[in-house]
Chain A
């Protein structure tokens, strides 16, 4: 795997994991009756 493809794969993996963690954040905050991003 070349450097560019490696970097692309890494970026995609970080984005995928990040999206997963963001879902986790939303679920956990919602379970506590809170919106994740915007303070009410």
Chain B
């Protein structure tokens, strides 16, 4: 473990030195001479190293780095929250769980740093002019990024290794503050890296020739920076939750005692809860990002969802549907922990019907890729009945319904072990059903009326009240539920560990679907730049400046996902063996 940690420091050091040499050096020279235009490159400007395809290397390494970075940035966020809950409730189980989560992320952190170093070297080797141009503009932020990385490492190690040392009243507060500091640094690192990639999509602070005006904040605060920041922040939490959920599932399946099973079942439940909490607002963050991409450049927006990449959104819909179904399935299986859950079993099949119906609508394509004979027999590129389900208002309606019904699954799970004692329980329940009914009717009204009987401006605008309706249903329902179940009595003790093994595979599915989804959607986000390194400013003239076929892209992402998941299994295994002790009889002299 210590050896891998030192790798992390080494990678930080390398990153710092290289950033200083490659980043700030040219920047200082440029500042003295004024900033030049973006380089105009030819194929000869892209070095070939050992016959390796540079684009493929950057693609896979950047993707692996991003997956691990998302995981290690997310885990401290919910570890901080769980630790705070433990402090508030004085329930040590929360503290132990938070410690176990951070333990898993420690090895992952070293791998993130190593992959970050590898990405940096690969960029310098394969795309030296692009890296030089970006480091001219982002000289200061790259330098501070490297410094912050040191800060992140120091605070993380203090946070992890000081966990048992910093216990007790004041010490625990110091430890919690370290957690807050760790999150502040981690989030700042993410924001800086986001600025560099969004500059490549929506450059700012430069003239049409790419001449930098010297204002780095303007380049950082470019048009797509905040939409990406919000989307990544929320997605990272959902992703981190799903990965630690997979860890808990792995530990549950390999547990030997019922106590161990109970512990990891509880851990898996909490991880799934975190993943669902972040998954619910995620489609809206994604929708906001896509809308902003359209607002910045219609061309880019059309390439994104109406052009070459549109079919990847069908795969996205299938994967997100898999996420929702597996998260719900896990909750339904988890209801078995309570003896009082039988009262709600009847509702599950109806929730499943709505979820599957919405899922089918979500992945119904608008325009089909067809052969001539298929086109002829269908009478056009759109199916006469299913075609209307291919447009965004139908998708928005479907996703809002999926979110509301996933929340309903959570609500019945929450109720399954409780018996309300307030006198107005019946009235409260009727109010809650009325709220859901009115909310769903409103979502359908907005989706159907504005989606099919008004013009495009209305179609897009109606998505905002749809989202808010979902939000209101969730918030008001939670408030109402907390009043109905105030002072409620438990049906009996919850039987942690009383959950079928197949529920653990739902947690694995959640992690795998998230990984694949992030890879595919990340490729789309990057790919919509098409033949530009920096859109409209710096053209990609390498032999690899083409949009590959969807099958090829999906294969690359799948290979990267397999490598990532193999590394994750390694991380889980390391976390497991770190707590195993072997006492070899007769080996050591007495």
Residues of A within 8 A of B (CB): 1, 6, 9-10, 13-14, 16-18, 20-22, 24-25, 28-29, 32, 34, 39
Query: Contact between B464 and A28 (Cβ–Cβ < 8 Å)?
Result: yes
| Cβ of B476 to closest chain A Cβ, rounded Å | 9
Nearest B residue to A32 by beta-carbon distance?
B461
| Cβ of B393 to closest chain A Cβ, rounded Å | 14
Nearest A residue to B471 by beta-carbon distance?
A24
Q: How far is the CA of A34 from the CA of B526 in the complex (A)?
A: 34
Taking CB atoms, residues of chain B closer than 8 Å to A29 are: 458, 461-462, 465
Query: Contact between A22 and B434 (Cβ–Cβ < 8 Å)?
Result: no
Query: Contact between B438 and A10 (Cβ–Cβ < 8 Å)?
Result: no
Taking CB atoms, residues of chain A closer than 8 Å to B454 are: 39
Residue B469 is within 8 A (CB to CB) of chain A in the complex:
yes
Query: Contact between A21 and B442 (Cβ–Cβ < 8 Å)?
Result: yes
Query: Contact between A21 and B438 (Cβ–Cβ < 8 Å)?
Result: yes
The verdict on A18 contacting B441 (CB below 8 Å), with A28-B464, A32-B464 known, is yes
The verdict on A9 contacting B427 (CB below 8 Å), with A28-B468, A34-B457 known, is yes
Residue B154 is within 8 A (CB to CB) of chain A in the complex:
no
Contact of B430 among A10, A18, A28 (CB under 8 A): A10
Interface size on B, as a range, is: 20 to 34
Residue B426 is within 8 A (CB to CB) of chain A in the complex:
yes
Q: List 20 A-B contacts (CB under 8 A).
A: A1-B427, A13-B431, A14-B434, A14-B437, A17-B437, A17-B439, A18-B442, A20-B438, A20-B472, A21-B469, A22-B442, A24-B465, A28-B461, A28-B464, A28-B468, A29-B458, A32-B464, A34-B457, A34-B461, A39-B458
Query: Contact between A17 and B435 (Cβ–Cβ < 8 Å)?
Result: yes
Contact of B439 among A9, A21, A39 (CB under 8 A): A21
Query: Contact between B430 and A25 (Cβ–Cβ < 8 Å)?
Result: no
Nearest B residue to A25 by beta-carbon distance?
B465
Query: Contact between B442 and A13 (Cβ–Cβ < 8 Å)?
Result: no
Q: How far is the CA of A39 from the CA of B469 in the complex (A)?
A: 22
Query: Contact between A13 and B434 (Cβ–Cβ < 8 Å)?
Result: yes
Query: Contact between B455 and A39 (Cβ–Cβ < 8 Å)?
Result: yes
The verdict on A17 contacting B446 (CB below 8 Å), with A29-B461, A32-B464, A34-B461 known, is no
The verdict on A17 contacting B434 (CB below 8 Å), with A1-B426, A25-B446 known, is yes
| Cβ of B462 to closest chain A Cβ, rounded Å | 7
Taking CB atoms, residues of chain A closer than 8 Å to B563 are: none
Query: Contact between A9 and B435 (Cβ–Cβ < 8 Å)?
Result: no
Taking CB atoms, residues of chain B closer than 8 Å to A22 are: 442
Q: How far is the CA of A34 from the CA of B464 in the complex (A)?
A: 12
Taking CB atoms, residues of chain A closer than 8 Å to B438 are: 14, 17-18, 20-21
Q: How far is the CA of A14 from the CA of B430 in the complex (A)?
A: 9
Q: How far is the CA of A2 from the CA of B464 in the complex (A)?
A: 39
Taking CB atoms, residues of chain B closer than 8 Å to A6 are: 426, 430
| Cβ of B236 to closest chain A Cβ, rounded Å | 29
Taking CB atoms, residues of chain A closer than 8 Å to B465 are: 21, 24-25, 28-29
Q: How far is the CA of A17 from the CA of B457 in the complex (A)?
A: 26
Q: How far is the CA of A33 from the CA of B431 in the complex (A)?
A: 33
Instruction: Report B25-71 residues with CB < 8 Å from chain A CB.
Output: none
Q: How far is the CA of A24 from the CA of B144 in the complex (A)?
A: 45
Query: Contact between B468 and A24 (Cβ–Cβ < 8 Å)?
Result: yes
The verdict on A13 contacting B430 (CB below 8 Å), with A18-B441, A21-B439 known, is yes
Q: How far is the CA of A21 from the CA of B547 in the complex (A)?
A: 44
Q: How far is the CA of A26 from the CA of B445 in the complex (A)?
A: 13
The verdict on A24 contacting B472 (CB below 8 Å), with A10-B433, A14-B438 known, is yes
Q: Using an 8 Å CB-CB cutoff, how does the interface string of B96-111 with A read, 1 for contact, 0 for none?
A: 0000000000000000
Q: How far is the CA of A16 from the CA of B437 in the complex (A)?
A: 11
Pairs of residues from A and B, 3 with the lowest C-beta to C-beta distance, nearest first: A13-B434, A17-B438, A21-B442
